[in-house]
Structure 1
């Protein structure tokens, strides 16, 4: 075990980071590489050869024998193909070689990944290309090189290419606006992200007894235990020893690969926890979050645990989300969403704030799409997960600032308030200018926005593509209007006033769970896209197609492919869940229930045989209830099995997904209701599945 006092030496020890490059690269090569990264330039092959050789030597010293281009296809997880460094010589020996060409480009098979019709099976060629802005790292004794993935004809087949495109689009438009403020010293604007990751941990021995968890990641059957999360005793509670050891091990593994894991704690639901990192560039944070999820699962295995990342693994208690904390930073280290002490006087901040407000209002459908999948449909709208209606929370202070701009009135700065607790020994400290709203999908939290709608399994790339691109469009419109104006300040004031007036409907500071908000949101004209199937058709609306094409994020073909992939994924997930439910009920539950009913029947017969027929009321009562529910369970599962077979009849991806939503899911729910009711009646020794009490408390 590493010396805990040597964490600075441990951190990044498995990363070919800036310090390592400085040590191992010639000074000019290092400068050329940094210049290429900073200016988004193509790397010269000669420079790449020297970088590749240094990277190889470093990896060999760490005991590495293979390298891989590590990429993020449309599966939502990562992919890798391992190649050894060995090259044959004429005398039958080998050399350990790694060329610049191998570093820059790879060629995996593109036909077996989701492409939404972009590639046919016979069109197999695909390429991976190095992303030098995200450092290479060692994982499982393999040198992993972060890359993008695209087709032979140049279409993006991954989640990272559009993200990099969107970061560049936002940079271009943000620099245009900053130039209007006389900020010529700023040469780059980057989006930064800090994704908080929620997850469940359960004992592997119980996981291995649950087919639903193994195949779908969630419990398709299972009655609520006598105690859930109603006592609020798990949130921020004392971390169990076994979990604390796991978390300590996980931190070390994350730190080795340069992931800035900072905060860990118990979450609201029993067996639920959270890990939060420090901010980083959006593409680096995306890589790190994918790697975090992978390491969470691997580390759990060696502790006899299983890490569940499904959005709703257990019915009746909190699901798991991922909070995408998003901000804008300049190359000078300035946070463009930092309001300062007097935001009413900070026109630059207010301009960027209004750009975000306009973006979220104009493209609320895209933000909803970015968090849409079958798992998240179970989670949104309750237990601290925000509702499906996209809105923004700004807090009272900023609301008043915006109101004063809209109305042309003077804003009176509020004096700093101090917290008075009535306990003299407690130091007095400044009170924040606004509270937090945990029901808001998109909340301003001081100097960043927290997008809380993501499900825990999601890659954060898609939501950041939507955010970056929509904000780039707002800034583009602002720059188009303001460039060349003689009286910049007057023109800006007019623009901000109009933007606030036209887009303030997206701002809501109240209770997002309240029924009144649903009614109010409809009056405001906000979208309420309750399910994935409701949301996805908005992907291919003309305004969204135009947005992505204008900023060179996606072509129309690339958008349509993602629309098809997401619909197909939804149908496949529900289909697998339905088939798993059928198998569990037919092969596990019904035989167990039949055995239990036989036991009751035999007991009644035995009692009658010895003249105790008057004392069989209990057995008869339970037998009647179980028999009635068993018949109901059998009817529903047979109906479910029949309906699943019809799912293949739909050639259209949307019609197929809608069939699963409208026809399959209700029958799955009815099947579960009968099964969960039976769990409360059938003897524990007969019931074949570990209970919720086993799963979330026995750890």
Structure 2
């Protein structure tokens, strides 16, 4: 395998393989299901299953699995072998269409928010034929992965993928309605296209093993600030050392083999922080591929003596990690509906779809915030290139100018592209983009797509994309309803009316300035924008009548499914914070106390030894050092005892999930921060080689 093209997709049951191995009639029917959303016929599934089995076995596969994405945001699978004994006592290989289409894992042991109880365990995985099957090879052998959706015996979605697929159908349906009204009668489908950038940290495996907080919580719960962090800005886009380069090389190869088009890799801002980004693809495939990327990062890091941290804020005081979900809408004819063209001011189709985004993000800002909510993300949002918790949109100079013209009732033109003069004769003259980039904006237009920068690094992108799809479907539905009520001769006039109304009524969501400034916080409040600083703040909006009506109208989620996700969100928040709190108490009790008490004893012994000399030199210094250390030990002890009490209260809390989550946030988490401050202060006083766990300096720079 000497070139990328020779092995890219070599372990994917992709279109090339299907064309080669399936009868033409079967292949044609399967393509119609994939491309046009037609129902899958049982006959087709049976033939595909047999061809898929033969292909997978040729690749060395001994097992297959229905690979699905439960509501914990990760992936799950149950492996089953192809082997089936015959009457002669020998083994044959079998894989039926029924096995391809349907699996049956336990539905009660995954997060379900009350949809299923232990005595109601049945659930089903259902083949998603729009996402290619693939073979994964590792030390455990080779396994055929079949992407699936996961639902309860009663039909409710128990996963991230099912609502995503429903929302893709919803936005396609409404976008096609609008396009046909605008004169595009040949369009059949509109597909959300997504590219998700993934940020992550790498640290040495041996150091990781010595940090209970990293092992149990995925982030450092203690850690004094080292003399150097990211202040010199010398890590971003810097050269990559050979150990990490070897890891990245294997990552690329592993991902390319299973059809993930990993394109970009580089160092990020914080020490030991990196980013990987694939090429755009269909939204559900992008969601699958992002899960593959995360799993591959974790697995391959281990082979190189490293540990990959996907937590949003593993280290205090430096940048955290997120996903930048780039999103556009593309027709089956290959037209990007968010491409402004050379003259965006008179591109009514583009402006109408842009209006749907502006209106949708403004009216459903709370849903976007919910879609990016997690315990880890609460630590990240608001600084260090992470967007603030206030949802706003960045349009840039050119589009903002056009939108202001629309508001005034007369479109004059578009600002053109200027030349970039470097002042060096030998460098070529470049055309500047029509706008700068805004790294503080949660939702920014970046040329021909939107970039949603708020999504947590450890989360599935499905929640954010599902929310976006549904919001845009709703606004396009409203536009289509209006356009259908006028004569064809009045369509253009009505489009302009819609644009003006959006420009006037929804302009509060547009903000091109510094999202970190205190002025913006005050301005956002004046505009009536929500500032939902934590997951708990955002969660209550999930079950509002407004959100339930939106999801039910477009058949993306029903009320039961929404309430289950609300419960899962709160339960996960509560459990994660309490795990962290209990880990802190455990570390203080079992690791820090023995060391610091011994250290204080040593100081006292030194004092006594010097005092016995009768010289008296340095006694005050030693005495003051002892007093300082002793005071910090007392502070740690007091704060640890108080945290233990609050944990006990939380464990016995009998109120509803929302009230418990508020208690955990307002009492437990606040006390965790107090304990951290005390321990971090103590760390700065204790000899480094005695401290019971590697400090930030060792983790980041050794």
User: Alignment partner of 2:688: what SS?
Assistant: coil
Q: Which residue of 2 aligns with 1:672?
A: 676
Matched, 1:470 2:471: yes
Matched, 1:508 2:511: yes
Give 1:412 shift: 3.2
Matched, 1:616 2:619: yes
Distance 1:179 1:224 in 2: 59
Give 1:185 shift: 1.0
689-698 or 169-178, larger mean C-alpha shift: 689-698
Q: How does 1:261-280 map to 2 (within 5 A)?
A: 261-280=262-281
Distance 1:65 1:412 in 2: 62
Aligned equivalent of 2:12, options 15, 29, 32: 15
Distance 2:283 2:410 in 1: 38
TM-score scaled by structure 1? Answer: 0.99
The Cα offsets for residues 187-213 of structure 1, whole Å up to 9 and x where unpaired, read as 110001000000000000100000000
Distance 1:575 1:416 in 2: 53
The Cα offsets for residues 546-571 of structure 1, whole Å up to 9 and x where unpaired, read as 00000001110000000001000000
620-629 or 439-448, larger mean C-alpha shift: 620-629
Aligned equivalent of 2:31, options 26, 30, 34: 34
Aligned equivalent of 1:626, options 625, 629, 636: 629
Give 1:609 shift: 2.3
Query: How many pairs are equivalent?
Result: 695
The Cα offsets for residues 579-625 of structure 1, whole Å up to 9 and x where unpaired, read as 00000011101110011111111111112223233432222121110
Q: How does 1:404-415 map to 2 (within 5 A)?
A: 404-415=405-416
Distance 1:376 1:286 in 2: 19
CA contact (8 A) 1:604 1:613 kept: no
Distance 1:615 1:332 in 2: 82
CA contact (8 A) 2:236 2:270 kept: yes
The Cα offsets for residues 44-100 of structure 1, whole Å up to 9 and x where unpaired, read as 111111111111111111111000000000111000000000112112111101000
User: Alignment partner of 2:506: what SS?
Assistant: helix
User: Alignment partner of 1:187: what SS?
Assistant: coil
Unmatched runs of 5 consecutive residues or more in structure 2: none
The Cα offsets for residues 133-181 of structure 1, whole Å up to 9 and x where unpaired, read as 0000112411000000000000000000000000000000000000011
Post-superposition, which runs of at least 4 consecutive aligned residues in structure 1 deviate over 3 A? 412-416
Q: Which residue of 1 aligns with 2:666?
A: 662
Give 1:410 shift: 3.5
Q: Which residue of 1 aligns with 2:345?
A: 344
Aligned equivalent of 2:82, options 73, 81, 85: 85
Q: Which residue of 2 aligns with 1:290?
A: 291
Distance 1:474 1:350 in 2: 13
Unmatched runs of 5 consecutive residues or more in structure 1: none
Q: Which residue of 2 aligns with 1:454?
A: 455
Q: Which residue of 1 aligns with 2:566?
A: 563
Q: Which residue of 2 aligns with 1:120?
A: 117
CA contact (8 A) 2:345 2:413 kept: no
Distance 1:87 1:45 in 2: 22
User: Alignment partner of 1:613: what SS?
Assistant: coil
The Cα offsets for residues 419-459 of structure 1, whole Å up to 9 and x where unpaired, read as 11111111111111111110000000000000000110010
631-640 or 477-486, larger mean C-alpha shift: 477-486
Q: How does 1:13-412 map to 2 (within 5 A)?
A: 13-140=10-137, 141-412=142-413
Distance 2:575 2:616 in 1: 53
Distance 2:414 2:530 in 1: 35
- CA shift in 2, pair 1:410/1:73, >3 Å: closer
CA contact (8 A) 1:67 1:145 kept: yes
Distance 1:553 1:563 in 2: 15
Q: Which residue of 2 aligns with 1:583?
A: 586
131-140 or 570-579, larger mean C-alpha shift: 131-140
Matched, 1:650 2:651: no
CA contact (8 A) 2:313 2:320 kept: yes
Distance 1:370 1:584 in 2: 33
User: Alignment partner of 1:660: what SS?
Assistant: helix
Aligned equivalent of 1:637, options 626, 636, 640: 640
User: Alignment partner of 1:65: what SS?
Assistant: strand
Q: Which residue of 2 aligns with 1:537?
A: 540
User: Alignment partner of 1:306: what SS?
Assistant: strand
User: Alignment partner of 1:685: what SS?
Assistant: helix
Distance 1:479 1:149 in 2: 33
Give 1:42 shift: 2.1
CA RMSD of aligned residues (A): 0.9
Distance 1:218 1:333 in 2: 43
User: Alignment partner of 2:56: what SS?
Assistant: helix
Distance 2:386 2:507 in 1: 23
